[in-house]
Structure 1
Amino acid sequence: MGTANGNKGLILPPYFAAMSDEAIDSAAKPFPAQALLPWLVGAAVYGLLLTLGPRLLNDPDSYSHVAVGSWILAHGSLPTSDLFSFSMHGAPWIAFEWLSEVIYAAVYALSGWGGTVTLASAMIALALGLQMHVLLRKLPPMPALLIVVAAIVLLAPHMLARPHVLTLPVMVIWTAALVDCMDRRAPPPYWALPLLVLWANLHGSVVLGLGLIGPAVLEQVLAETRNEWPRVLMRWLPFTALAIAACCLTPYGAETLLMPFTTLGLGRGLNWIQEWRPQDFSHVSAFELLLLAGLLGLSRGVRLPAVRVLVVLGLLHFALAQARNIDLLAMLAPLYLAAPLARQFGAATRDDAAGPARGLKLAVLAVMIAATALAQVRDMRPDRRNTPETAIAAAGLANAGPVLNDYTFGGYLIFAGIPTFIDGRGELFGGPFIERYNLDVSLADLNDFLRLLDQYKIEATLLQPSTPAVALLDRLPDWQRVYGDDVAVVHKRLAAPKH
């Protein structure tokens, strides 16, 4: 059922049906006590992440991001070809997350792994605090808090010291600016364009930010009569052109904008990388429970504008297709749903019992500073399962020649200055290479595994103990196990490779 304010498809209670978007925004402006809630959410998340500490270093690529950033700082330039592997050495490659890597490297140089954990924790907490701030403009505190808690649960598996967490605050601010234009039918937010420049240099997902302009334009077009469509389109056309230009303001030009398409082009190779696999519903997960809860909530008569339905469905598709994209659903979908939910269940209300909010903010800030100081004295290191340091030292792999390494050890090898056979840079190695590697070390094709050892003149292997290839190497006459522990097993070739 349509309404007087043009929000087609919404079923509204009588009071909210008479309210314009501007009236809802006015009623929803945060007052001091509500303004404190984002600080409390951010502080709680920050403290929790600092307490968890090393869990943010569970990803093997944390090593390689610091290493690449250190190389950039040391050389004062950006790589345009592979410098860190022997299997693809010299092949075209760009450090499309260069700014994030430089920031991580600089922080690591100043305060070690404790500093990288603190930085990642601060950015995640800031993003969730910003999300809470935006939601409170539309919703009462309790619904807003429940939504943010759900976002925290969904985001939890990917709270890692990696470039994507540095983009989360930028992503929230940019999306909130576009959604605000949709809610108020306002002109394009030109002030937000510098965010795209920052985003483009921090992470390759900036193409998503560019894509989110489309729904903002479409919803404004559909809210107008047909003869007004050209006016709306012409209002957004210069903004879109500038946004595209902003995304290309990187040392690599437009290449970073195209990087997600290169990654998605890995095809079946993505199935071997855990974070790129589809969601697994073979067991009950937090994602499934929250998804069902969300569907149940929307079944209570909530109807959304068609464009927002498409946006949320798109984010849900990304989250289902690749597990890593659940971050997008957690952080962005609530921003698109806030105003429709406010009209359905109630908008934010004035809180006159504000109290000394400014003093409380300072107290929260003081606690966060103290937590930061305490975190720096903890011994934080990446997960030992991704750190074959002992095996490398005991077997002398630094000078052993080409090493066939486990995929999860690639980040540490880059960090240690040892050329990799494979690592987390899927866009460099390509789908066929990744698939061949995984099939070979799992002995799905035993003969090809033997050919691979000779083709790349492998002199040593560094694999996880559970890898099927380890058992084969134990039995091959030309190979000898020289070291083994619960992290890694090392074999060395006894005879020269055949040519």
Structure 2
Amino acid sequence: MLTTRRLFTAILFLAVFVMSAREIQDPDFWWHLRTGQFILETQTIPHSDIYSFTRAGAPWIAHEWLSEVFIYALYSLAGFPALILIFSAIITLAFAFVYARCEGKPYSAAFVLLFAALATAPTWGVRPQMISLLLTSVFLFVLDTSVIASEPFDFAQGKLRERSNLHFPTWGLLLRFAPRNDAFGIWLLVPLTVLWVNLHSGYALGIVVIAVYWFGELVRVIASPERAKQSPNFNLGIASSQESLLAMTNTSSLVTLSIILFVTIAVVPLNPNGAMMYTYPFDTLTSRAMQTYIQEWFSPDFHLNEFQPFAFLLLATFASFAVARRRAAPTELFLLAGFAYAALRSARNIPLFAIIAAPILAANVWEWITTRGWNKVFASRAETSRLLAAINWLILILILGVSVARVFAVISNQTLVERAKFPAAAVDFIAQNKLNAPLYNAYGWGGYLIWRRYPDARVFIDGRADVYGDKFIEEFLRTYRGEGDWRARLDKYDVKLILVEPDAPLLTPLALDAQWKKIYADENAVIYQKNK
């Protein structure tokens, strides 16, 4: 029977799914798609650059190779609709695991989850990063359900608080056959790490999360004996069974986490790039060009509306500790502080903070509600009448109809968005006129050119910043801005064609240069050709 609580939960996840369904606009999507095609058709994974004429043969760590195969397989199966729907499902599933860790389900938890979803929304799309978001959420869920470190130690009472209401139907079936606190399920993190390291370099997040849980558990193990010594039974050697179980469980959890941490680190080389994947995630973090020029790596600009939900989530989470009596576990505090710093440093880390903060905020909000007795209103278990169930079904069907229409509109709009966001008509012109000479292209269009023109033509640059390096990217940008001897930099690579946006700074000196002539222009792109 469709109760109001179930209806509310269904509406929540329908909302997340519909919000996450969006047209493909990520400039890197296109070279991911082409790489997946290349791997499937050639049965090889590239280890050097195959797409550009400026860095041809340069080392390339294709760390997302399995995600790219997955993306192209979906595209081959059912085109853009399959990609949009499946990645919306991936995002929704990520938040389902977050929701499973929240207290106050379904009502107060739902509002917290929606704010967390809104905070992450600017980063959503058909991107391998969404798979990392899902796996990070899974890691947090597994650790919370399998490791006692997720439960705050009540120093005032000298005992563990009750476990949070963790609920996820499929996982519950698995856990039913295992003791609650024996770390059953945590061993799944090992094969998941192997899978993750082949999907995306974000695998390092999983190891970082395990390490934080390990450190949080270490703090608990160190702190707990001090409290045990104050027990009247401690010196008599007759500690209660609860106290003994507490000490044993703490130590056991720490040992288990130590082993899991060691094994997950050890299996990282099980990928086509081998041990290089140990350092690759940190190489991108230290790239000066990526930090300076790629907008996603910038700190969030709170003057922009898209970052307001994150600002609210950040402030609300830390402020909630002032009104809640609940004492956070060391692990919670370490995760919250670390990922808050990461999110403030780079907007691309906001989703990670959101999926960590949401259960903490939900727990604090629910604690505040229960101390005032308001939880009794939400906890009503009155039997749902047939009439109310029928009304609930009617509401759900209506909302489902609106949701389907909204998602269908997104899918139908994909071609229009592609032609508005990318130089589709300009590339058509290039192909029709067989203009295969070396071409200087805008940074955000390299991926699209790879999809449309490879292998007939190569690009000057694309979104694989790690392949091009800081020096080359800075040189590219000086040329794009028309600074210094931009002609010499173009001549260095024998560039004969230029494809940039209508407002590109380079167009100003180009228009005054007799060696170059404009051969194409529309509202999205301009093409210049060098005179023979």
In the TM superposition, residue 339 of structure 1 has moved relative to its aligned partner by: 4.8
**Structure 1: distance between partners of 2:405 and 2:74:** 17
In the TM superposition, residue 191 of structure 1 has moved relative to its aligned partner by: 2.9
- For the Cα contact (< 8 Å) 2:219–2:330, is it kept in 1? no
TM-score w.r.t. the length of structure 2 is 0.77
Q: Does 1:393 align with 2:419?
A: no
In the TM superposition, residue 391 of structure 1 has moved relative to its aligned partner by: 1.2
- The answer for the alignment partner of 1:326 in structure 2 is 350
**Structure 2: distance between partners of 1:436 and 1:421:** 12
- The answer for the alignment partner of 2:321 in structure 1 is 298
1:400 maps to amino acid: N
Report the RMSD for the aligned CA atoms in angstroms. 3.2
- The answer for the alignment partner of 2:12 in structure 1 is 41
**Structure 1: distance between partners of 2:411 and 2:215:** 51
Aligned CA distance change for structure 1 residues 430 and 36 (closer, same or farther; 3 Å): farther
**Structure 1: distance between partners of 2:528 and 2:4:** 63
Deviates more, 1:84-93 or 1:328-337: 328-337
- For the Cα contact (< 8 Å) 2:320–2:361, is it kept in 1? no
- CA deviations 1:289-331 (Å, max 9, x no partner) are 4433444433325653444222111111111111111111112
Give the one of 464, 474, 493 matched to 1:425: 464
- The answer for the alignment partner of 1:412 in structure 2 is 448
In the TM superposition, residue 264 of structure 1 has moved relative to its aligned partner by: 1.4
Instruction: In structure 1, list runs of 5 or more residues that go unmatched.
Output: 1-30
1:394 maps to amino acid: F
- CA deviations 1:52-97 (Å, max 9, x no partner) are x42xx12111211111111111111111111111111111102211
Listed as ranges, the matches of 1:10-409 within 5 Å are: 38-50=9-21, 53-54=22-23, 57-135=24-102, 138-180=103-145, 181=147, 182-184=149-151, 186-188=181-183, 189-225=186-222, 233-283=254-304, 285-286=307-308, 287-300=310-323, 304-336=328-360, 338-339=362-363, 342-343=366-367, 345-346=369-370, 352-353=381-382, 374=408, 378=412, 380-381=414-415, 382-396=417-431, 399-409=435-445
Secondary structure of the 2:333 match is helix
Deviates more, 1:459-468 or 1:120-129: 120-129
**Structure 2: distance between partners of 1:425 and 1:390:** 24
- The answer for the alignment partner of 1:6 in structure 2 is none
In the TM superposition, residue 375 of structure 1 has moved relative to its aligned partner by: 6.8
**Structure 1: distance between partners of 2:268 and 2:318:** 35
Instruction: In structure 2, list runs of 5 or more residues that go unmatched.
Output: 152-159, 161-180, 226-246
- The answer for the alignment partner of 1:24 in structure 2 is none
Aligned CA distance change for structure 1 residues 194 and 33 (closer, same or farther; 3 Å): farther
- For the Cα contact (< 8 Å) 1:81–1:93, is it kept in 2? yes
> Percent same amino acid at aligned positions?
28
Q: Between Structure 1 and Structure 2, how many residues are aligned? A: 456
**Structure 1: distance between partners of 2:192 and 2:106:** 28
TM-score w.r.t. the length of structure 1 is 0.82
Aligned CA distance change for structure 1 residues 98 and 351 (closer, same or farther; 3 Å): farther
- CA deviations 1:84-142 (Å, max 9, x no partner) are 1111111110221111111111111122212211111111122122322221xx33422
**Which structure: larger Rg?**
2
- The answer for the alignment partner of 1:456 in structure 2 is 493
In the TM superposition, residue 175 of structure 1 has moved relative to its aligned partner by: 1.0
In the TM superposition, residue 256 of structure 1 has moved relative to its aligned partner by: 3.2
- The answer for the alignment partner of 2:173 in structure 1 is none
In the TM superposition, residue 143 of structure 1 has moved relative to its aligned partner by: 2.2
